[in-house]
Amino acid sequence: MRVLVIGSGGREHALCRSLKLDPQVSELHCAPGNPGIEQVATVHPVNPLDPGQVAELAARLRVDLVVIGPEAPLVAGVSDAVREAGFACFGPSSEAAMIEGSKAFAKEIMKAADVPTARSRTCVTEAEAAAALAEFGTPYVVKDDGLAAGKGVVVTEDVDEALAHALACERVVIEEFLDGPEVSLFALCDGSTAVPLQLAQDFKRAGDGDQGPNTGGMGAYTPLPWAPDGLTEQVMREVVHPTIGELARRGLPFQGVLYVGLALTSKGPKVIEFNARFGDPETQVILDRLETPLGGLLMACATGELGLDPVFKGGSAVTVVIASENYPAKPVNGDVITGLRETENAYVLHAGTKWRGEDVVSAGGRVLSVVGHGSDQESARQAAYDLVGRIEMRGSHHRTDIAR
């Protein structure tokens, strides 16, 4: 089968790496890709947000399947255009992707489907926001309704800061604070049924010990040896199946991956957020452990033919993100990266890189995602950090406590 992946980050590099290992995948393309992805796929300089350009590329390459990585192309209607042009597509329609694109819509679906989540109010006016803040109390949780690239959520004890964020957004969801460890569960969905991938955890703060500003994710690991027994089954039963059922009932079958961000509260797991795509960097570790060939799985989602649950290898995988100077505030780009090589138990995925002459240079906030694997978490962690230590890039930073 011929596959086209849309996107250019660490998640797309991980997707391409796994697809390349699937014997059923005969040809692999990526648009726009990056210098790392170029090692495993043919890259094409196409604007991933332009539905027409992507559909045209799919036609020109006569692919069997288009896999959409990030949320922005989904919300922009790229999956719709690809399907209309007659191609199988992994990635929900723009309407179904509103489960990520609008927090208010996600809350409405959860309410209708009786999915456990924080109590919330959707607010437009200052008076509504002030009333909701008073209702739920501290810590205040204020979420921009729309896509905000990881900058939409403010959690604060300060009522003025909470209100200021609410006023800066057109529409906000204000909700109750959920206490407890956070985990991510990704479910592959074919429109009517769903199967779980392995649980993972990511590290969202920039600094060690969960200090510093929120980021897109500085590292991740899988599996979670400490997770309660039966958690995956419970989340499939209480969250995933009701949610995709409710979407299907509304004529919005969800074909792609439903990302469930959960807080494990004293009253059970509750949904913090949904995303309509694979998480980054959790995907890097989950796909490292996936044994079932990826191409067949994604194709089954796109054609409504999902069968058995995916199978995972034993052992553990850990990924550490190497970020550019000043990420997340104002990333500095253009720094030369050296030491890019594999070791026996670790490899480098490119997240934000580009060519400058013969050099690979930084071209984003999160630049590389280094993945280590091993028979247990400690050896996977060691493998990842050994390789991180060999890579050089001026001004870069990474967390030293991922999966510790």
Show the binding pattern over residues 163-202: x = contacts ligand AMP (CB under 6 A), - = does not. ------------x-xx---x--------------------
Q: What is the DSSP letter of 259?
A: E
Contact 392, 348 (CB under 8 A): no
Shortest distance, position 25 Cβ to ligand GLY, whole Å: 24
> Residue 160 and residue 165: Cα distance in Å, rounded?
9
Establish if 141 lies at the interface with ligand AMP (CB under 6 A): yes
Place of tokens 């391409």: 16
> Residue 365 and residue 329: Cα distance in Å, rounded?
9
The piece of 76-84, 232-240, 273-281, 321-329 that touches ligand GLY (CB under 6 A) is 273-281
Q: Residues binding ligand AMP: what is the number (CB under 6 A)?
A: 13
Establish if 202 lies at the interface with ligand GLY (CB under 6 A): yes
DSSP string of 295-329?
HHHHHHHHHT---SPP-B-SSEEEEEEEE-TTTTT
Establish if 8 lies at the interface with ligand GLY (CB under 6 A): no
CA torsion 234→176→401→261, rounded to 10°?
40
Instruction: Name which of 176 and 282 has its Cβ closer to ligand GLY.
Output: 282
Instruction: Name which of 59 and 149 has its Cβ closer to ligand AMP.
Output: 149
Instruction: Name which of 55 and 402 has its Cβ closer to ligand AMP.
Output: 402
Shortest distance, position 130 Cβ to ligand AMP, whole Å: 18
Shortest distance, position 395 Cβ to ligand GLY, whole Å: 23
Instruction: Name which of 37 and 200 has its Cβ closer to ligand GLY.
Output: 200
Establish if 12 lies at the interface with ligand GLY (CB under 6 A): no
Cα-flanking dihedrals φ and ψ of residue 246, to 5°? -65, -40
Contact 15, 70 (CB under 8 A): no
List C-alpha distances in Å: 395 to 53, 79, 322, 335: 36, 38, 10, 8
> Residue 187 and residue 198: Cα distance in Å, rounded?
9
155 makes contact, choosing from ligand AMP, ligand GLY, none, with CB < 5 to 8 Å by partner type, with ligand AMP
Shortest distance, position 396 Cβ to ligand GLY, whole Å: 19
58 makes contact, choosing from ligand AMP, ligand GLY, none, with CB < 5 to 8 Å by partner type, with none
Q: What is the DSSP letter of 228?
A: P
Instruction: Name which of 145 and 282 has its Cβ closer to ligand GLY.
Output: 282
Comparing every residue's Cβ against ligand AMP, the nearest one is 273
Shortest distance, position 305 Cβ to ligand AMP, whole Å: 31
141 makes contact, choosing from ligand AMP, ligand GLY, none, with CB < 5 to 8 Å by partner type, with ligand AMP
Contact set for ligand GLY, span 208-247 (CB under 6 A):
217
Residues with Cβ within 8 Å of 401's Cβ and at least 6 positions away in sequence, in order, are 203, 208, 209
177 makes contact, choosing from ligand AMP, ligand GLY, none, with CB < 5 to 8 Å by partner type, with ligand AMP
Shortest distance, position 152 Cβ to ligand AMP, whole Å: 6
Assigned token pair, 14: 């991980």
Assigned token pair, 156: 């604060």
Neighbours of 179 (CB within 10 A): 12
The piece of 50-58, 169-177, 274-282, 394-402 that touches ligand GLY (CB under 6 A) is 274-282
Assigned token pair, 42: 């043919």
Shortest distance, position 303 Cβ to ligand GLY, whole Å: 26
Contact set for ligand AMP, span 247-266 (CB under 6 A):
261
Contact 317, 289 (CB under 8 A): yes
Name the strands in the sheet holding 268-275, side by side, starting at the edge strand that comes first in the sequence.
194-196, 182-190, 255-265, 268-275
CB-side neighbour CA atoms (13 Å) of 108: 13
Neighbours of 22 (CB within 10 A): 19
- Site residues (vs ligand AMP, CB under 6 A): 118, 141, 152-153, 155, 175, 177-178, 182, 204, 261, 272-273
- Site residues (vs ligand GLY, CB under 6 A): 202, 217, 275, 279-280, 282
